């Protein structure tokens, strides 16, 4: 046999193996990226179509394609999936322009259900709603014990009682939204600071999820009310608006480009803690002269007992006296409305919102308060900014807070993947 001399270059051989391995990894990564991109686009298209059906339905598939710019095939595919999920349904046929009458699609309000809870210092109000935020069942529970485990036990009982009363299958419950005062990390479901309960850094979302086994969404109560404005009967059709709540405290929710603005840690919107007089009365937050230390219910009552009558028991007493024509009570409401209006004017000059909504229990203070407020907003705003800003005074009911909390869950259903925050734990 001949002598064969194999001069194998080991370094080149190893390089070939490494390159082949890298090519396989690269192909795998590219395939994953392409798959992820397809899933993302499908999720975005799904959200677009679902929102069009909610806003403009009943609507035909052809009109959806025309309004969205999506292909008829994409619309047909995604609406088929939405029908399978029971989120939409085929309704009566529409008018024909000569051919076969189109089949119309509409949102199915009964395609799922949500529960919203407003957690307050001594009690909680809950509402079970459909996907139109229509209240189907309501419940209130007293919570004199502020100990964390006790409150969680009561909230679990509240949710379970609503499910039992409504007779809906628990698997049709899309989630529970909870609104409460304080600084909330809504992404992770953590209550950073509660002014009423004294809790700090409580993983309330995880604690409730472990008991209820449904998605839990947590946010500041004014933020939930602000989000709820998109889903309540009147409906907000602008992407830039502010909600101000007046009552025990003074709060604010901010929507910019259709998204709630929460700040870096969930504390944005503490409108009541703008300092209007650094030598003013001490506020609950520890500072002096906050807006809330003048206009919160307790602050107004203290002033009313000094300036109107020492026998006044609550805000309703003051409202009644003003309604009877008492000049001192009317003057107090005029003064309070003027102060609020001055600070709202600062918001107009700062944010240039399309709409300002006034809500909360304090809306019952009526004309003496709101006439002065509107006048002060106009007098203290930049004219070019104020002239296109609408101020709306909302009517008030006990279940509005709970419906707002329910909107946390409803909003997740209609948000596109690029709008949804990177939620961990309970809210995946």
pLDDT per residue as tens digits for the range 295-315: 999 999 999 999 999 899 999
Choice between 21 and 309, residue whose per-residue pLDDT is larger: 309
| H-type alpha helices, 199-282 | 204-212, 221-228
Q: What domains lie within the chain, and their CATH numbers?
A: 13-107 (1.10.10.10), 111-228+403-417 (3.30.420.40), 241-393 (3.30.420.40)
Q: What is the pTM of this model?
A: 0.79
User: How confident is the model over 76-87, as a mean pLDDT?
Assistant: 92
First to last CA, the chain: 70
pLDDT of residue 99: 62
pLDDT of residue 401: 81
d(CA 423, CA 428): 6
d(CA 269, CA 219): 12
- 106-142 b/e (C-beta count within 10 Å ≥ 16 → b): bbbbebbbbbbbbbbeeebbbbbbbbebbbebbbeee
pLDDT band for position 418 (cuts 50, 70, 90): low
pLDDT of residue 238: 82
């Amino acid at each position: 046999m001949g002598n064969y001399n194999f001069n194998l270059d080991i370094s080149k051989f190893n390089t070939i193996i490494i390159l082949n391995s890298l090519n396989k990894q690269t192909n795998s990564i590219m395939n994953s990226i392409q798959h992820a991109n397809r899933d993302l686009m499908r999720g975005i298209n799904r959200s677009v179509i679902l929102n069009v059906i909610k806003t403009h339905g009943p609507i035909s598939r052809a009109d959806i394609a025309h309004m969205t710019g999506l292909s008829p095939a994409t619309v047909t595919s995604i609406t088929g999936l939405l029908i399978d999920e029971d989120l939409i349904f085929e309704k009566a046929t529409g008018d024909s322009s000569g051919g076969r009458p189109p089949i119309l699609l509409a949102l199915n309000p009964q395609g799922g259900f949500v529960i919203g809870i407003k957690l307050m210092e001594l009690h909680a109000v809950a509402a079970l709603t459909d996907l139109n935020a229509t209240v189907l069942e309501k419940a209130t529970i007293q919570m004199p014990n502020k100990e964390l485990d006790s409150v969680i036990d009561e909230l679990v009982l509240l949710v379970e009682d609503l499910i039992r009363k409504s007779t809906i299958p628990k698997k049709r419950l899309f989630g529970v939204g909870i609104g409460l005062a304080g600084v909330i990390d809504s992404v992770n479901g953590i209550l950073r600071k509660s002014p009423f309960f004294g809790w700090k850094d409580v993983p309330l979302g995880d604690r409730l999820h472990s008991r209820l086994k449904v998605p839990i969404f947590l946010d500041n109560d004014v933020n939930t009310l602000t989000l709820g404005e998109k889903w309540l009967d009147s409906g907000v059709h602008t992407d830039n608006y502010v909600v101000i709540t007046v009552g025990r405290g003074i709060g604010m929710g901010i929507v910019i480009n259709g998204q709630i603005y929460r700040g870096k840690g969930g504390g944005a919107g503490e409108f009541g803690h703008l300092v209007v007089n650094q030598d003013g009365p001490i506020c609950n937050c520890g500072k002096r002269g906050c807006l809330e230390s003048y206009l919160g219910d307790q602050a107004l009552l203290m002033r009313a007992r000094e300036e109107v009558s020492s026998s006044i028991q609550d805000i309703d007493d003051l409202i009644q006296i003003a309604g009877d024509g008492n000049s001192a009570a009317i003057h107090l409401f005029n003064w309070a409305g003027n102060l609020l209006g001055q600070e709202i004017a600062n918001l107009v000059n700062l944010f240039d919102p399309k709409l300002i909504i006034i809500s909360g229990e304090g809306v019952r203070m009526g004309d003496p308060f709101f006439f002065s407020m509107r006048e002060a907003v106009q007098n203290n705003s930049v004219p070019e900014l104020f002239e296109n800003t609408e101020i709306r005074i909302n009517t008030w009911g006990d279940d509005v807070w709970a419906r707002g909390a329910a909107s946390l869950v409803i909003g997740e259903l209609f948000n596109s993947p690029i709008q949804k925050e990177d939620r961990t734990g309970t809210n995946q």
